[in-house]
Amino acid sequence: MNDTDLALAVCNGYRPDIDKEIEKEYNTFSQNTPYQIHPNATTTSKMIDTKQITQQLEKLKTIEEYHTKALEELTLDNINLDKLNIQEDPQEQSSHQAQIQQLPK
């Protein structure tokens, strides 16, 4: 599961299993951490618009899939070199000839 898939899964309610030992270590750490909120402080929270986040992640995933497909189509395996016709520019060719003719003797 890549980062985008995991982010989408979490937005859709997925919660990975937490190892009991890790949970115990976390609880011990969080209880022993000298972090205090001022007694007169007011804490507030607001809802996060997960629908908008999910839409943005879906859009990103679609863009990534498009670019991946485009890159796959551009590989050399998909190019028929027999049909590839490369022609030199006539002006460029004559300038090469002119340079060759002007070489010191």
Tell me the per-residue pLDDT of 15-26, one tens digit each, with 9 for 90 and over.
777 788 888 888
Give the pLDDT band of residue 100 (cuts 50, 70, 90): low
Global confidence as pTM? 0.30
**pLDDT per residue over 30-89, tens digit each?**
777 777 778 888 888 888 888 988 999 999 999 999 888 888 877 766 666 666 666 666
Q: For residues 86 and 73, what is the distance between their CA atoms, to the nearest angstrom?
A: 20
Q: DSSP letter string over 12-25?
A: TT------HHHHHH
